[in-house]
Structure 1
Amino acid sequence: MVVLLLKSLGINHLLDFEFMDPPPGETLMRALELLYALGALNDKGELTKLGRRMAEFPVEPMLSKAIIASENYSCTDEVLTIISMLSESSSLFYRPKDKKLHADQARQNFVRPGGDHFTLLNVWEQWAETNYSQQFCYEQFLQYKSLCRARDIRDQLAGLCERVEVVIESNPNTNDITPIQKAITAGYFYNTATLQKSGDSYRTLKTNQTVYIHPSSSLFQHQPPVKAVMYYELVMTSKSYLRQVMEIKPSWLLEVAPHYFKPADLEEMAKGDKKMPNAKAVAAAPSTAS
């Protein structure tokens, strides 16, 4: 996000920039690689038209890319909601000691097919139907302040959409969540993982790391196990856990990031031994960003 901001201000020689607290060179390189992969930079390291639009949003570049990509799938309204809710997802539900079963059941009632992103969308939509009621939050074991913060973030992002001329439309077919899944994957294709042959763990495409779905996820112990997932964050405790997980199809990666994935990559992924494209090769590859 910092690198994208500096690029948007016309500061291109980042290694010479006088940071108050300079980041390691490796961190800068990873940031440049990610921004290139997202299409925010071209192969010369210059900001693209897409990158300029992304820089207008005060969120992580992967989130701003998802917002802009949602316009192509006519589901910006839903994506704005999900992104705003993701920022507050860790503090959204609470579980009083004397009402654990009631709280767990209330949370389960919000679960929707497709993964945790659609659970968050459902929470928002039900809250909005009550005219943003505090009583509703109390009854459903939801943190009212967290939801209010999510609403503030959403309002701000919606205002910025107008500034960069992103048309806010709702998904025309409420029974088909695929457009929303593809839009978010367009920003988060880096954060994807496929099921390993053991069937109880996943392997990240970015780092080839063994990871597990967090027990709080609606996809935890899902039967049959979901073959490919996109995750919002990776947390390290006794194991490496994926939090806020969404089901995806590997074939979507070719659609949303054709400059990053090739058909051969998907074949290797299907075997369970996919390794990420070499980072240096990605950074040096010809850009398809416009």
Structure 2
Amino acid sequence: APESLMQALEDLDYLAALDDDGNLSEVGIIMSEFPLDPQLAKALIASCEFDCVEEMVSLAAMLTASPCFVPLSTHLEEAVALRRRALLHPNGDHFTLINIFNAFQQLTPHPCPRGADAAVPPADAGDEGWCRKHGVSAEALRLAGTVRAELLEVMRRIELPVSPPAFGSDANALNIQRALISGYFLKVARDIDGSGNYVMLTHKHVAHLAPACGYLLRPPPRRLPPWVLYHEFTISQDNCLRVVSEIQPQMLVELAPQYYLSNLPPSEGRDLLMEL
């Protein structure tokens, strides 16, 4: 539809992927090198600036591969849910995905294939058992490993810097949030009443956290984050935000001032940001 095309072009413009003539900018050309959606490509490029490439490339692979969580059998649900809960990261779902990928990679050595035609690494009995115990898909995680290797190959080919791993430090967590906001600042929502009714800032639609969201899987008392960045929104199925992590609102103004100070439609959320 023409409206969808115009929205896509507008989003690319906000991501600085287009120049004044509507052609790909230098950033846009680099983004186009990656087989990723524009927002994820922009976040990955931003990770070079914020020294969190190792983590962001793992996250990009996890978001691109098949969903890693599998439906739980009723008789195993409680035990698996407890083990899965141990993998939850306090900073949100994006960090949990990195956690899961790192844990899977540490089970046994996984050769990193090079090139787009590389095969998925063979299955390992230990991997499969660990995945069953935690309710995650070994196939999806192996595919993520392959995607990750391909993304790193692209980065090496176009000579983007790859920072060393630093997952687990406060500084690294902040840098991952900065990289994510650099790409996903159009996908931000605010809890308007403290009970999980999230208004998406770009078009004021109200949504809720998906049942598999880590914030809902934690033991009581649960604390729902007031501001979140989300990976996707599914209005047709269950009106849910999927893959959600908490952010600090001042980071939106810091990293995307053009949008949040000039182009964000009037709303209570905009008023709050203007006061920061």
Q: When the two structures are superposed, what TM-score results if normalisation uses the length of structure 2?
A: 0.83
Q: Partner of 1:107 in structure 2? A: 84
* Correspondent of 2:144 among 143, 147, 150: 150
Q: Could you say if the C-alpha distance between residues 116 and 163 of structure 1 is closer, same or farther in structure 2, counting changes exceeding 3 Å?
A: same
Q: Partner of 1:162 in structure 2? A: 156
Q: Partner of 2:38 in structure 1? A: 61
Measured in 2, the distance between the counterparts of 1:62 and 1:241 equals: 19
Measured in 1, the distance between the counterparts of 2:86 and 2:131 equals: 14
Measured in 1, the distance between the counterparts of 2:166 and 2:273 equals: 37
Gaps of 5+ in 1: 1-23, 275-290
User: Is the contact between residue 197 and residue 272 of structure 1 (CA under 8 Å) also seen in structure 2?
Assistant: no
Amino acid of the residue matched to residue 35 of structure 2?
P
Q: Partner of 1:250 in structure 2? A: 249
**1:219 aligns to what SS in structure 2?**
helix
CA RMSD in angstroms comes to 2.5
Within a 5 Å distance, the mapping from 1:208-227 to structure 2 comes to: 208-220=204-216, 223-227=222-226
Q: Deviations over 1:125-148 (max 9, x none)?
A: 111111253332233332111111
Kindly state the Cα deviation for residue 42 of structure 1 after the two structures are TM-superposed: 2.0
**2:190 aligns to what SS in structure 1?**
strand
Within a 5 Å distance, the mapping from 1:35-184 to structure 2 comes to: 35-88=12-65, 90-131=67-108, 132=110, 133-170=127-164, 172=166, 174-176=168-170, 177-184=173-180
Q: Deviations over 1:43-92 (max 9, x none)?
A: 32121110000000011000100000001110010001111112246343
User: Is the contact between residue 68 and residue 141 of structure 2 (CA under 8 Å) also seen in structure 1?
Assistant: no
**1:96 aligns to what SS in structure 2?**
coil
Please say which of residues 26-35 and 215-224 is displaced more in the overlay: 215-224
Amino acid of the residue matched to residue 215 of structure 2?
L
Q: Partner of 2:11 in structure 1? A: 34
Measured in 2, the distance between the counterparts of 1:267 and 1:224 equals: 24
**1:261 aligns to what SS in structure 2?**
helix
Q: When the two structures are superposed, what TM-score results if normalisation uses the length of structure 1?
A: 0.79
The count of corresponding residues between Structure 1 and Structure 2 is 251
Q: Partner of 1:228 in structure 2? A: 227
Measured in 1, the distance between the counterparts of 2:262 and 2:10 equals: 21
